[in-house]
Chain A
Amino acid sequence: SYVLTQPPSVSVAPGKTATITCGGNNIGGRSVHWYQQKPGQAPVLVIYFDSDRPSGIPARFSGSTSGNTATLTISRVEAADEADYYCQVWDSPLDLRVFGGGTKLTVL
């Protein structure tokens, strides 16, 4: 089955830019979604279809894909952005949804 690989952790200072990657075989050919999950809370969709933002998600959140890597970028990071972030795709040949292992974003 399709595998998505994320770094376990990323650290960034407030006001700087955080970059979270998601690796997968030819992931650029798939639609990638990103979720934010804060402790004790349900996940929230922050990016869908590679780079689109649902209503209510700040423009500081952006996404891109190329080749074997999808990237979630958070600009001007705030303390409230500290959370776990998960990428997700649809493994269409098998009709399965797949999540990456998650990345813990720490705001220093």
Chain B
Amino acid sequence: QVQLVESGGGVVQPGRSLRLSCAASGFTFDTYGMHWVRQAPGKGLEWVTFISYDRSKKYYADSVKGRFTVSRDNSNNTLYLQMDILRVEDTAIYYCAKDFDQWLDYGMDAWGQGTTVAVSS
């Protein structure tokens, strides 16, 4: 079955960097687009970024544009999120999620359990 396992979260000071990973299994990773979605404590879901199956398309929420970079290693079935110049408001649980369909906008049908990022001085 599809499995997504995030890692790399932790406590970091404002202005510092962190790199999250998402290990994927149970599906053909290199044929699906992938997302990062975050959830601040007690708040709703916020979409962060998307990367297409072949890395040709990358999109970012305005709140992270210029600070976060999404990437993927299809040979190792792993998704990454490089987070630079972190702010207190980036504190959240970060989920990776898989596109339901390879070509159509059918939402995100598989999610990891999330990794927690806390930005604090």
Contact = CB atoms under 8 A, between A and B. Distances in A.
A68 B7 CA distance: 39
Contacts of A37: 45
Contacts of B57: 95
A41 B95 CA distance: 11
Contacts of A44: 111
Question: Among B57, B105, B106, B107, which residue has the most Cβ atoms of chain A within 10 A?
Answer: B107
Contacts of B37: 43, 99
Contacts of A96: 47, 59, 61
Interface residues of B, number: 24
26 contacts: A31-B105, A31-B106, A33-B106, A35-B45, A35-B107, A35-B108, A37-B45, A42-B111, A43-B95, A43-B108, A48-B100, A48-B107, A49-B105, A52-B106, A88-B47, A94-B59, A97-B47, A97-B50, A98-B47, A99-B37, A99-B44, A99-B45, A99-B46, A99-B47, A101-B44, A102-B44
B113 interface: yes
Contacts, number: 68
B46 A42 contact: no
Interface string A38-72: 00011111001100101000000000000000000
B59 A49 contact: no
B35 interface: yes
Contacts of B35: 97
Given A49-B106, A54-B100, A102 B95 contact: no
A45 B59 contact: no
A45 B108 contact: yes
Contacts of A45: 100, 107-109
